Amino acid sequence: MLKVLISLGKSFYQAFPDLGDWLREEGIQVTEQVSADQEPSREQRKSLLRDVQIYIVGVDRVDEEIMDAAPDLKLIIKHGAGYDNIDLEAAKKRGIAVTYAKGENAQSVAELTMGLILAACRGIARGDREVHNQVWNLFMGCELSGKNLGLIGYGNIGRRVAKIARGFGMKVYACDPWVSGEELKREEVYPADFETLLETADFLSLHIPVTETTRHLINEEAFQRMKASAYLINTARGELVDEAALKKALKEGQIRGAAVDVFQKEPPDPSLALLKEAVFTPHLGACTVDSARRLSFISFENVMNFINQRPLKNRLV
C-alpha cells in the first residue's frame, strides 16, 4: 500500500484539513504530522519517513540526512511556493522527484504585503497594542498615494503587489533581471536597478528566493543607501535580510521602519521584539483558508499523477 506523510503546521492544516481524507478515500495510507506550528524534530521525522513513498511537506528542512532515512521515498511535494528548504541536488542524486505549488499562495502573500505596508506607515499594530493596554497616544503616519514602492522581484507575488499598490495611487518600480523593461512598462511599472530602488523607494518590498547571490542582499551597506524615511517590507525569505544590520538600521534611524513576516530562524531572536519601529508577524503570508484550499488541491493532484504515472505538475526535479 502506498504510504504518504503529511507534515504541515497545525494552524495551516486545520484551516483546510481535507487533504488526508481525500487520500484515504483513494486507498492510500496517510500519516499526518500536524500537531504543532513549529518544525518537528529530525529524529521524529526520520522515524515517520522510514517506509514512506510520498512526503508532503511545508517548512521542514529536507536534506540528505532526512532523505537517507527514507529509502522508499519517491516523491517530495512542497505544500507551498518556496522550496529553499528542500535540497534539490540531494533529491536528484537519489532519483526523488520534487514538485511545488507555483503561484498558489501568491494572492494571499501579496495582500499581506499591502497590509504590512499600511500597518508600518500608519502605526496600526502599535496603536492596537496601546489601546489594549489602555494607552491613548496619537502618532503621525504617511499616506501611500504618491509614494514610491520599490519591488525587488516581479514574479507571481510582485505583480499582484504592484496591482494593489497602484490602486492606492503609489508609483511602482521594479527590479527583476528576468522581466524586460518593456513588459514592466506595459503593466504601468517603472523599471529600475537595485541601487536606484535602494535610494529612491519609500517602501522597499522583497519578493525573491534565497540563493547564494541574494542571501543578506539587504545588509548594512544597503540600509545606509536607503532613505531615512523609508520602510523595509519582507514577506519573502528571512535570509534575504541581515537581521543584525536591520536592528542597527532601526535603532540608529537609518530607515524609519520595517514590517517583517519571515525570519532567519523561526521563531526569531527575542531581541527583535524590542524594536518598536517594526511590525512583526509569524510567517502568515500563505495563511488564508483560500490558499490552504488551493495548496491541498495541487498536492492531491500530484499524488494522483504519481499513482497514475502522469506528468507531475510544477516539477522541479
Write down the pLDDT at residue 35: 83
Write down the pLDDT at residue 219: 98
Catalytic positions? 237, 266, 283
The CB density around residue 265, as the number of other CB atoms within 10 Å, is: 9
Write down the pLDDT at residue 104: 96
Residue 297 has phi, psi (to 5 degrees) of -60, -45
> Where exactly are the structural domains of the chain?
3-104+288-307, 106-280
Each residue's pLDDT tens digit, 104-127: 999 999 999 999 999 999 999 999
What is the rounded distance in angstroms from the CA atom of residue 217 to the CA atom of residue 133? 37
Residue type, 76: I
Nearest CA to 199 out of 148, 154, 250, 160 is that of 148
pLDDT band at 144 (very low <50, low <70, confident <90, very high): very high
The CB density around residue 300, as the number of other CB atoms within 10 Å, is: 18
Yes or no: say if 239 and 210 are a contact pair by the CB < 8 Å rule: yes
First to last CA, the chain: 24
Nearest CA to 259 out of 126, 158, 154, 168 is that of 126
Q: Which CATH architecture is the domain 106-280 placed in? A: 3-Layer(aba) Sandwich (3.40)
Q: Please, what CATH class does the domain formed by 3-104+288-307 belong to?
A: alpha beta
Name the average pLDDT for the chain: 96
What is the rounded distance in angstroms from the CA atom of residue 8 to the CA atom of residue 197? 36
At residue 37, does pLDDT exceed 90?
no
Write down the pLDDT at residue 213: 96
Same topology between domain 3-104+288-307 and domain 106-280: yes
What is the rounded distance in angstroms from the CA atom of residue 288 to the CA atom of residue 80? 12
Yes or no: say if 2 and 307 are a contact pair by the CB < 8 Å rule: yes
Residue 287 has phi, psi (to 5 degrees) of -85, 70
Nearest CA to 269 out of 278, 118, 210 is that of 278
Each residue's pLDDT tens digit, 69-86: 999 999 999 999 999 999
Each residue's pLDDT tens digit, 150-199: 999 999 999 999 999 999 999 999 999 999 999 999 999 999 999 999 99
Each residue's pLDDT tens digit, 280-314: 999 999 999 999 999 999 999 999 999 999 999 99
